[in-house]
A and B are shown apart, each in its own frame.
Chain A
Amino acid sequence: MNRRTAIGGILGIAGLGIASVSVLKYFKTDIDISKGKLVNYESLISELVDVIIPPTETPGAKSAKVQNFVINYMEECASIKEYTKFFNGLNDLQETCLDSYGIPFEECSDIQKNEQLENLDSGLDSNSMFMKISNKLRGRSFFNILKTLTIEGYCISSVGATQHLAYLPFPGKYEAITTLKTNQKAWATK
């Protein structure tokens, strides 16, 4: 975890356009692993997605079973490179929690959980130019993968689409221009 963050910093300073070959080589030292391992991480992933999308007046990601979506996507759809990054990210996070607090992430307090994810989140707009270049150069970060999948898994879940967003499966009509109502929710689908 610290190893990766430190290098990320160097890369940022060095200028993303002309990252040196040696730095790129260093990043390739993540050895690809084989799939099928995430089933044992369900409880950790459940807690993680629930920090990213917590229960509020609408249910959170855990009760929307977003952890299943994340695991299924990773096992069936992700490239080995992303899978490896994700798997290592989970283990690094767990290691950091044990080092820092002596307990696994699942048992951490809300404050500790937030602190850990804040450390991982670059704080940057996920669609910013910096993030796009960074993603292109070294692949999406662990946090970026986790956050993107959590958003998708939640917004396509029954809970997310029908309770947190506005889901209208059979509109029956198209009103091209409406006036936005106070607190009107975004449509769940396009």
Chain B
Amino acid sequence: MTNQTDKNTFDAIVVGSGISGGWAAKELTEGGLKTLVLERGRNVEHAKDYTTALKNPWDFKNGTHLTNKELEERPVQSSHCNATDKHFYVKDSEHPYIQTNPFKWIRGYQVGGRSLTWGRQSYRLSEMDFEANKKDGHGVDWPIRYKDLEKWYDYVEEYVGISGSKESLPQLPDGVFLKPIPLNAIEQHLKETVSEKYSDRVLINGRVANLTEATKGRGPCIYRNLCSRGCPFSGYFSSNSSTLLDAHNSGNLTLRANSIVKKVIYDEDKKRAIGVIIIDTITKEEFSYYAKIIFLNASAIATAAILLNSTSPSFPNGLGNSSLQVGHNLMDHIVNNASFGTYEGLKDKYYEGKSPGTIYIPRFQNLNSETKNKKFVRGYGIQGKGERENWQTKSTVGFGKSLKEQLSTPGKWKFFLGGRGETLPNYENKITLDSENKDQWGLPLVKVDFKYGPNEIAMMEQMTKESEEILLNAGFENVGSYRTPPSPGSAVHEMGTARMGHDPKTSVLNKHNQMHDVKNVFITDGSCMTSSGCQNPSLTYMAITARACQYAINQLKSGLL
């Protein structure tokens, strides 16, 4: 991959190389634009730099456990990583931030970003989601509707490779799918029970970006379920395995790793952004790069931080922030305390290979008048997985020969269910910069100020209750839920900090993801989200990015940018 360059002028600059930055890189370079991709973390080359991918369990000195020293360096990240994939997560000690209330900011500073470690769940938003704000009055109206994004969903799905089944659900549109990852015996049992006992919900095969069939020279998935280490078989979608490689193959990509964007340079005379100032993380030197258009894809919190730090006479509160909405309306999905239960039957059934997928019970609340919930607006879906207990999860009694036998015998079936719910946009949930506290590069620390509101709390209680009830209805025993719900941020779906909208007074981006105030700056990471839906959002970021890139290229070619 192309690296360091003395050239400093490009057609386009993309900030960030994660799931949306990778797409911007691919679309812009394939559209003929000489593009510089800036990544604050180190380079990670596909396959070659997946250093733990082929290791066996015994190759890790302490198994999956982090050492005390590693834990101290990662007080936040440690809930999401372990010894086998920790190198794809930051050390909090090197990249501090301030939490006014507990908020997990899970980060992967490297080429490919969090596309290396994402959960790969890929769902479309529906018309219901795009209309939600307008209908119930929370937040501002989305300036786009499902029909605006539909063909872009098709486009990215066809490239990414999403396994799934067509279900004809209005709240969860079907897409371009590879064959689904099949359900195992207990998952099939739960699916049947849900259909039998409930008229308002169904259980479907989770839609995941794991390649059940080879796609564009990648994959297929070989069912190791070790995705977060990086896949040398390209069995799942990441920027590294696909978009960045194609961007590179176009001949138009320059990738500069170890480059933190300090600010976007705004030219007061031209009334446009002309480039960015970066800090080389290793030498701590500053460099400037220039381009006609700039795509910010640093992830919701980091993109907002760059905007807030990009002050100028025209924009004393941060670039494109005349609305004072930049950094506000931070959302993440609600993740409840997962529920679980064991099942006595189906003891003669097992499976071979490890599924990287899940089951999904799409949203079944507030879809219509029959499913209206009295306690909250919007809704949640439930994700889960069934498996037979093994030594990691099963109860054992005693020691000696009998214990040894217990370990080698497949245990009971066990199911985990966890709700994933919508968070409402709320101006008070925000990120700001703390200029009193700086990081090692002299940049102000990000301060995250986020709390669930009554709607989120009511929904969270309900999703736990429902999950337990579903398991009980399906004959599970020992049904329970973990007591403490994970902190906000745990879904790693932070979004909303530079929202799209019709009105420049109340939103940051227009319907093409252009900044209302600065037309040659585009933002297509999670920042742009006007509402959160309850679906895992990466697929929407990809579709929105591809759409905005095409618009930007056309505008540029028509001399309008």
Contact = CB atoms under 8 A, between A and B. Distances in A.
B216 interface: no
Contact of A186 (B62, B68, B409): B409
A68 B390 CA distance: 23
A164 B408 contact: yes
Interface in A144-186: 147, 151-158, 161, 164-165, 167-180, 184-186
A64 B466 CA distance: 44
Contacts of A172: 222-223, 353
| Chain A CB within 10 A, most for which of B183, B347, B399 | B399
A115 B392 CA distance: 27
Interface stretch (A17-25, A26-34, A125-133): A125-133
A177 B351 contact: yes
Interface in A110-126: 114, 117, 121, 123-126
Interface in A45-97: 51-54, 56, 58, 69, 72-73, 76-79
Contact of B352 (A54, A126, A154, A171): A171
A189 interface: yes
Contacts of B396: 125-126, 147, 151
Given A56-B401, A69-B63, A178-B349, A171 B391 contact: no
Interface of chain A, helix or strand or loop or mixed? loop
A146 to B, nearest CB: 9
Interface stretch (B53-61, B167-175, B272-280): B53-61
B354 to A, nearest CB: 6
Given A125-B397, A126-B396, A178 B350 contact: yes
Nearest to A148: B396
B58 A158 contact: yes
A101 interface: no
B184 A171 contact: no
A186 B390 contact: yes
A187 B224 CA distance: 12
Interface residues of B, number: 52
A77 B65 CA distance: 7
Given A151-B396, A176-B355, A180-B348, A76 B68 contact: yes
Contacts of A169: 56, 224
A171 B223 contact: yes
Given A51-B400, A73-B65, A174-B353, A158 B408 contact: no
Contacts of A11: none
A174 B352 contact: yes
Contacts of B395: 125-128
A50 to B, nearest CB: 10
B390 A190 contact: yes
A178 B409 contact: no
Interface in B482-509: none
B377 interface: no
Contacts of A155: 57, 391-392, 407
A132 to B, nearest CB: 11
Contact of A190 (B183, B185, B347, B354): B354
A174 B223 contact: yes
Interface of chain B, helix or strand or loop or mixed? loop
Contacts of A121: 398-399
B408 A185 contact: yes
Contacts of A180: 347-350, 410
A108 interface: no
Contacts of A184: 350, 410
A154 B392 CA distance: 11
Contacts of B397: 123-126
A79 B183 CA distance: 40
A154 B391 CA distance: 10
A188 interface: yes
B404 interface: yes
A173 B400 contact: no
B401 A161 contact: no
A56 B223 contact: no
B188 interface: yes
B120 to A, nearest CB: 15
A187 B390 contact: yes
Interface string B193-233: 00000000000000000000000000000111100000000
Contact of B404 (A53, A69, A77, A168): A53
B387 interface: yes
B399 A147 contact: yes
Nearest to B411: A186
Contacts of B68: 76-79
Contacts of B392: 152, 155, 190
Nearest to B71: A77
Contacts of A175: 351-353
B224 A170 contact: yes
Q: Which 6 A-B pairs have the closest CB atoms?
A: A171-B353, A174-B353, A127-B395, A156-B57, A176-B182, A174-B223
11 contacts: A73-B63, A73-B65, A76-B61, A121-B398, A128-B395, A169-B224, A171-B353, A174-B181, A178-B351, A186-B388, A186-B390
Interface of A: 51-54, 56, 58, 69, 72-73, 76-79, 114, 117, 121, 123-128, 147, 151-158, 161, 164-165, 167-180, 184-190
Interface of B: 56-58, 60-63, 65-69, 181-185, 187-188, 222-225, 347-355, 387-388, 390-392, 394-401, 403-404, 407-411
Given A52-B400, A56-B404, A164-B407, 18 more contacts: A53-B403, A69-B62, A121-B398, A124-B397, A151-B407, A165-B391, A169-B56, A171-B224, A171-B353, A172-B222, A173-B352, A174-B354, A176-B183, A176-B184, A186-B407, A186-B408, A188-B57, A189-B57
